[in-house]
């Protein structure tokens, strides 16, 4: 899944609360408890329950379309996987008060699992801690029992790959790459949106849609002043997809997380804050180890796009016109608390970045047909484009590429008759020249592959081949060949 838009489910990214004391709420919450979880086999619905002192939470996940009869071994494996999903999804409720004590009331946790989730919570809540002026160092401690025995599920799964579809350009590239090598593919999503369903229909793959319902009182607590902010949503979704593997019968999960997810935004309290940490190779590597050592050896998890830059992904996507009317990367279009109906708001960093990264590869009329306007004509976008290019400020807290990737796009756009004379591009080039940034060097970095150590060779060969074929279609200094 190349998008982290579902972290917007609470409208959290613009949270600026510093402390719950500002609203008079109890900031002395002492204990966060993982109380119980269960799976209703008849309704294929999971329930995850938590508590902060006397406040109870219940989250619900409906695995729609999973109608096959489950045997006792499958039910046992689902409950095993739910244990880990229960801990991962708890971050959405733990963050409300950041209690000092964590208790797990379901079953003992191994030290390996405890260390994983300490890292998951600390790194996944990095942006949250920055925005709320909190220091989480040495604060998040999961209890473990050294005598806990390792449990590995043995699964008999169908040989096929699931592609999480978020509605953006990245999952479309993953789908087309796998279809090209005739890999059996299914789509899976958490939540519903027209772009998700349209992309699956265009790709002609079955789509399994999971519904996630956060505990209703979480919204009310947020209104009252409970701490709110960004959570490692892609990490949570990854645990959901492991449960889905059993219910929908697939043995591989191909995410669409690119290499720029490794690039952080800033340093805070001595630690790097990375909005995209649960899309990063650091998360992917540690998550894979957890799966293989604590869960099962029978499911492969990796990101097909890990070797690629956003620049290369945009280049690939530009050659897939059948998806251009369907995709959306704008987070505002996905907020459940937002009434915004358009696929592109044209006012957020994600819209600006996608417009920029596609501009070297699409004509002006093609790109404006997607966005409905030319974002390079609006000088009100200039300051934010300067941030995307690293000319000032820091990398926006969004799923956007590295500075060098934006600079590589600018390098080509400045040589394009479609875009070079627009007000924003002319002013950006002036800033680049003043800073003496070598755009050609940025371009050279953006078109290089980053070798992935975790991807099975079959998939690695596929993504390298489709990208090399795409490169042949372009004359870099003149746009399309």
Reported as a single tens digit per residue, the pLDDT across 209-242 is 999 999 999 999 999 999 999 999 999 999 999 9
- The predicted model gives 440-450 an average pLDDT of 89
pLDDT of residue 27: 56
Summarize pLDDT for 274-308 with one digit per residue, the tens: 888 999 999 999 999 999 999 999 999 999 999 99
Interatomic CA distance for residues 418 and 105, integer angstroms: 61
Q: Which of 260-269, 423-432, 463-472 has the lowest mean pLDDT?
A: 463-472
Interatomic CA distance for residues 240 and 62, integer angstroms: 11
Rounded to 5 degrees, what are φ and ψ at 143? Answer: -70, 145
Summarize pLDDT for 324-379 with one digit per residue, the tens: 999 998 877 666 444 446 788 988 999 999 999 999 999 999 999 999 999 999 89
The beta-strand segments (E) located in 241-397 are 252-255, 266-268, 271-273, 300-303
Task: Give the torsion sign (CA, 460, 167, 37, 245).
Answer: negative
The string over 77-111, giving b where at least 16 C-beta atoms fall within 10 Å of a residue's C-beta and e elsewhere, is bbbbbbbbbbbbbbbbbbbbbbbeebebebeebbe
pTM score of the predicted model = 0.90
Read off the pLDDT band of 476 (50, 70, 90): low
pLDDT of residue 332: 76
């Amino acid at each position: 899944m190349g998008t982290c838009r579902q972290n917007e489910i609470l409208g959290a990214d613009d949270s600026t609360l510093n402390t719950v004391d500002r609203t008079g709420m109890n900031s002395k919450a002492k204990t966060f408890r993982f109380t119980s979880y269960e799976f209703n086999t008849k309704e294929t619905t999971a329930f995850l329950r938590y508590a902060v002192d006397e406040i109870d939470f219940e989250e619900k996940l409906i695995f729609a379309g999973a109608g096959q009869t489950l045997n006792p071994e499958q039910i046992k494996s689902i409950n095993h996987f739910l244990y880990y999903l229960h801990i991962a999804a708890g971050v959405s409720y733990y963050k409300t008060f950041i209690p000092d004590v964590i208790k797990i009331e379901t079953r003992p946790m191994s030290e390996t699992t405890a260390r994983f989730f300490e890292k998951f919570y600390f790194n996944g809540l990095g942006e949250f801690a920055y925005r709320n002026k909190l220091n989480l160092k040495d604060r998040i401690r999961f209890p473990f029992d050294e005598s806990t025995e390792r449990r590995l599920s043995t699964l008999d799964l169908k040989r096929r790959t699931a592609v999480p579809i978020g509605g953006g350009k990245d999952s479309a590239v993953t789908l087309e790459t796998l279809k090209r090598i005739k890999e059996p593919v299914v789509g899976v999503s958490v939540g519903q949106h027209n772009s998700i369903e349209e992309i699956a229909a265009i790709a002609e793959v079955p789509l399994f849609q999971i519904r996630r319902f956060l505990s209703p009182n979480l919204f009310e607590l947020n209104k009252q002043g409970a701490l709110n902010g960004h959570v490692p949503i892609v990490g949570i979704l990854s645990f959901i997809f492991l449960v889905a593997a059993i219910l929908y019968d697939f043995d591989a999960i191909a995410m669409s997380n690119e290499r720029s997810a490794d690039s952080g935004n800033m340093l805070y309290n001595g630690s790097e804050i990375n909005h995209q940490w649960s899309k990063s190779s650091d998360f992917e590597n540690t998550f894979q180890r957890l799966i293989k050592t604590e869960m099962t050896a029978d499911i492969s998890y990796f990101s097909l796009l890990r070797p690629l830059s956003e620049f290369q992904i945009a280049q690939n996507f530009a050659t897939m016109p059948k998806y251009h009317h369907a995709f959306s990367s704008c987070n505002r279009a996905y907020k459940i608390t937002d009434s915004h109906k358009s696929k592109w708001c044209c006012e957020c960093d994600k819209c600006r970045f996608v417009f920029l990264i596609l501009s070297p590869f699409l004509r002006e009329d093609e790109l404006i047909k997607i966005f409905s306007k030319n974002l390079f004509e609006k000088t009100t976008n200039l300051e934010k484009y300067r941030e995307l290019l690293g000319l000032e400020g820091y990398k926006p807290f969004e799923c956007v590429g590295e500075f060098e990737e934006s600079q590589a796009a600018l390098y080509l756009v400045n040589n394009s008759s479609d875009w070079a004379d627009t007000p924003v591009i002319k002013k950006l080039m002036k800033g680049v020249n003043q800073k003496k940034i070598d755009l050609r060097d940025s371009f050279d970095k953006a078109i290089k592959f980053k070798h992935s150590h975790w991807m099975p060779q079959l998939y690695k060969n596929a993504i390298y081949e489709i990208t090399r074929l795409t490169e042949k279609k372009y004359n870099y200094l003149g746009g399309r060949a």
